[in-house]
Chains A and B, each alone.
Chain A
């Protein structure tokens, strides 16, 4: 079974600064997807960024980028130019790319990291 570990329960950053959230995972599969989701106080789950394991290039979405190290099974999220609206709980998630079966599409979440942004 796959596991996802976020070792930072809480992080803080000054507005306009950069912060990196850590995520490691364990799997025996070679093809999979990794995600970062943001959950603000409204508790809505928002997809921040997605990475396909077969792609070596790190995914980027505006101020959000990842450092995907497949061999090390590491998938960190970097938030540049942090804004007050970035304050939220962030979840790293894993999904197998294997089609079929009753667990197809199932996400495995990490424990989450609460990010505080100071003005």
Chain B
């Protein structure tokens, strides 16, 4: 099946730093990528939808200046958490899809802000 690679899988950093998470579709060209946030034992919360070459569409309540999304190519999208604080600590998951095909998920990134 389709493979989506997400990197890093776990990152710990100090409060105030920025963290970049990469999401790559390895064996298909993804027209759309999605970024989710998930707290323990809770559902996935969609943060934004990213289409190649255009600005991301953010869900209500998600700060676009805090969570910068770039989708520069059909195989790569990045999420940058700017000036991260402890409340940004969470599990972030990306997914990629093409047309009507199901979303394929990355393995997620555990972000811990000290």
Contact = CB atoms under 8 A, between A and B. Distances in A.
Interface in A60-89: 89
For B93, B100, B107, which residue has the most chain A Cβ atoms within 10 angstroms? B100
Nearest to B32: A105
A114 interface: yes
Interface of A: 33, 35, 42-45, 47, 50, 89, 91, 97, 99, 102-107, 109-112, 114
Interface of B: 32, 34, 38, 41-44, 46, 49, 51, 57, 91, 93, 95, 97, 100, 102-103, 105, 107-108
A105 B32 CA distance: 8
Given A89-B41, A97-B100, A99-B100, A43 B57 contact: no
Nearest to A46: B105
Interface class of chain A by DSSP: loop
Given A44-B107, A45-B105, A107-B103, A112 B43 contact: yes
A111 B43 contact: yes
